[in-house]
Amino acid sequence: MTVYLVGAGPGDPGLMTARALELIALADVIIHDRLIPVSALDGARADAQLIYAGKQGGGEQVPQAEITRLLVEHGRVADIVVRLKGGDPFVFGRGGEEAEALVEAGIDFQVVPGVTAGIAASAYAGIPVTHRDLASSVAFLTGHEDPDKPGSALDWAALAAFPGTLVVYMGVRHLQAIAARLIAAGRAADEPAAVVQSGTLPGQRTLVATLATIAARASEARIGAPAIAIFGPVTALHGQLRWLERRPLHGVSVAVTRAREQGSRLAERLQALGAAVILAPVIRTKSLPGPPPDLGSYDLICFTSPTGVEALFERLDAAGLDARAFPGSERTRVAAIGPATARALAARGIRADIVPAQAVGEALAEALAGLPVARALVARAREARDVVPESLRAHGAEVDVVAVYETVVEPLDEQTLEAVAGTDYITFTAASTVRNFLAAAGGAQAWLARGSARPRVVSIGPVTSAELRAQGLSPDIEAQSHDIDGLVDALVSA
């Protein structure tokens, strides 16, 4: 039985350590803070006990004594307890106190360091806390000391004279007093200063001023927690080195309505470009059981989505088969509706022979029209359109349509709908996402009535756009390439 004091990093899920993710996946109990990455618990076991132990400056608190009690209580009975803390547990995280309590209770513990905000948020703001020419040292200090102390434990005179960068954690509410104390103790009032709010997250904001003016400027800009303050000449480099804010979708919010397993991949693409993403999946895909078809009996095998590829291979796998079930003869061709489907096949060791430029059924049907096809298989969703099989039959082919998966409605709650309504863009990747989203919203008119500042509507292609219009909602943007790459390109170009 071991308690692991684990740093979850400053907020960007990509900054979580491999060890942190490994322990989250193994944990019986996870006692977590408020300021952990939103996806930090996605890898937890379904039967793991998740206990919220968050704190918020000036807001609701879970007392430290209660957190310590929980650690000791669960540490005595559970094999693996993870105390998941934002940033690093030993940098203003009270991890040292928790470790002391565990030692006193005779409970084994280990520490897994995390990337701390003082370094990460500064770096994401383009502010190196050390610099060969500007700062050879850095000091971290808290702007929120123990209120029960008789006085400040900080030596303001020493800090004012410190010949390097000062990084202040949890100090945004006391910024005026902190700056005044430093100036009164002799630090230059015109020294460059910065505040970084929501560091490493898509909504990160950086404000640069001077030590004398930073508090007033932060108040005017409504800068709030979580935030760090940085004092020293290095902050002047923000204008030159602010790489995060130069990403093409920085400051843009996007709602993703496709199935969660696919939406997460799209969300990762958008987040890498700087967007804040709201996942609002209105469908999920469900593989349909059944025997694998005899692939050797067809001279054309068609796939109309990456999900269809995965679902068919699930059937092959269940029967003890793999890619070798595909005939090796040149007589049999494999067709993919678009590049994403072709990539899914390639990942399984199958190269698509036919891939139309546009990922729509009409383009695939046209690409197949000139081929001599006697017998074809179309592996697809249960509710898919019949454009491809009807075209093949019109050209004399015998066609077997095998529904290898179906889409199932995922309900959306009011809180998610409100979050989506506040985004800049909402994306639709299939007609089913349009129908299900608008059904959850009470119809197009009810959705439009939520306010004039509704998100702009982004469609993946003409079929989805036609469904939007049929439902009473016009697309503002349609991707030129009717796949996820095209959808992302459309957002970047908007």
One-letter amino acid of 32? H
CA 468 → CA 48, 317, 450, 457, 478, distances in Å?
41, 37, 18, 9, 11
- Which uninterrupted H or E stretch holds 302? strand 300-303
Residues 76 and 27: their CA atoms lie apart, in Å, by 14
Residues 88 and 457: their CA atoms lie apart, in Å, by 40
Q: Which two tokens stand for residue 227?
A: 């935030």
3-state secondary structure of 171: coil
Given the residues 12, 16, 33, 483, the one annotated as active site: 33
One-letter amino acid of 395? H
One-letter amino acid of 191? E
Given the residues 12, 85, 88, 170, the one annotated as active site: 170
Task: Decide: 106 and 82 in contact? Cβ < 8 Å.
Answer: no
Mark residue 349 as left, alpha or beta (left: phi above 0; alpha: psi -120 to 50; beta: remaining): left
Taking each helix axis as running N to C, give the angle between helix 339-347 and helix 484-493, from 0 to 180 degrees, rounded to the nearest 10: 130
For the chain, what is the largest distance between any 2 Cα atoms, rounded to a whole number of angstroms?
A: 90
- Dihedrals φ, ψ of 156, to 5°? -65, -35
Q: Which two tokens stand for residue 478?
A: 């349609």
3-state secondary structure of 255: strand
| Catalytic residue flag (residue 55) | yes
| Catalytic residue flag (residue 16) | no
Task: Decide: 466 and 387 in contact? Cβ < 8 Å.
Answer: no
**Burial (CB count <10 Å: 0-12, 13-18, 19+), residue 485:** middle
DSSP conformational letter for 87: B
Return the closest-CA partner of residue 259 out of 305, 303, 291, 290. 305
| Catalytic residue flag (residue 85) | no
Neighbours of 139 (CB within 10 A): 17
3-state secondary structure of 487: helix
DSSP string for residues in 92-144:
SSSHHHHHHHHHHTT-EEEEE----HHHHHHHHTT--S-BTTTBS-EEEEESS
3-state secondary structure of 300: strand
Kind of pairing between the strands at 398-409 and 375-381: parallel
CB pairs under 8 A, 24+ apart, for 433-437? Answer: 433/257, 433/258, 433/282, 433/283, 433/464, 434/464, 434/467, 434/468, 434/471, 434/473, 435/467, 435/471, 436/257, 436/282, 436/283, 436/409, 436/410, 437/257, 437/280, 437/282, 437/412
Catalytic center residues: 33, 55, 170
